A and B are shown apart, each in its own frame.
Chain A
């Protein structure tokens, strides 16, 4: 079974802090994705990566950056957390030419 793990299930941070969300997948997938999920807005793509050290902006990249130094690991970085970044963050991965995305359990981030 494909497994996508996220470093924390719940996280509470202060405004202005630098926040790291980590995601690891164990199926040697080329593609990895970061989404945020908000009620009434669905899943919105923040960034994705189709190879090590490669990244592309999604629909809402402002205030976020990413890092992919190893194929299995994709990190989402909030350089200076703000209250409007309070959300559920979901990581996903997929094979290069396969449409199915496999999701992690999510990290619920609260920024106070």
Chain B
């Protein structure tokens, strides 16, 4: 119940294409679902996040789609660019003062020019 399952493990997309990464969870107490982006040699950084009261959130080329009944959420990167090549982690959190995050296993995205 504490896991967040992420797929695929790696993804190759052509420049201009759509990158899609999926995550699934079991614990219905989770109330915050962020995506983190990590470039080589750097720590992860928050990219975009969603709460379960909305089904979609868009920030520029990045969109989170959230399906509460299926307990799934996904990251869509539109018009993927070589600069988007990075590792992406989904995560979940059930709030409280400590704000622990449970991370997925990560997806290595390579956008080919």
Residues of A participating in the B interface, judged by any CB pair closer than 8 Å? 4, 30-31, 33, 35, 40-45, 48, 50, 56, 58-59, 90, 92, 94, 96-106
Contact = CB atoms under 8 A, between A and B. Distances in A.
Given A31-B98, A48-B98, 7 more contacts: A4-B43, A31-B99, A41-B105, A42-B106, A43-B103, A99-B49, A103-B45
Nearest to B96: A97
Given A58-B100, A100-B34, A40 B43 contact: no
B98 A40 contact: no
Contact of A105 (B34, B42, B89): B42
Contacts of A30: 97
B97 A97 contact: yes
Contact of A98 (B43, B99, B100, B106): B99
Contacts of A105: 41-43
A42 B6 contact: yes
Contacts, number: 64
22 contacts: A4-B43, A30-B97, A33-B100, A41-B105, A44-B103, A45-B100, A50-B97, A50-B98, A58-B100, A90-B43, A92-B43, A94-B99, A96-B97, A96-B99, A99-B34, A99-B93, A99-B101, A100-B34, A100-B46, A101-B46, A103-B43, A103-B44
Contacts of A58: 100
Contact of A90 (B34, B44, B97): B44
Interface string B35-55: 000000111111001000000
B9 interface: yes
Contact of A42 (B49, B89, B98): B89
Nearest to A39: B106
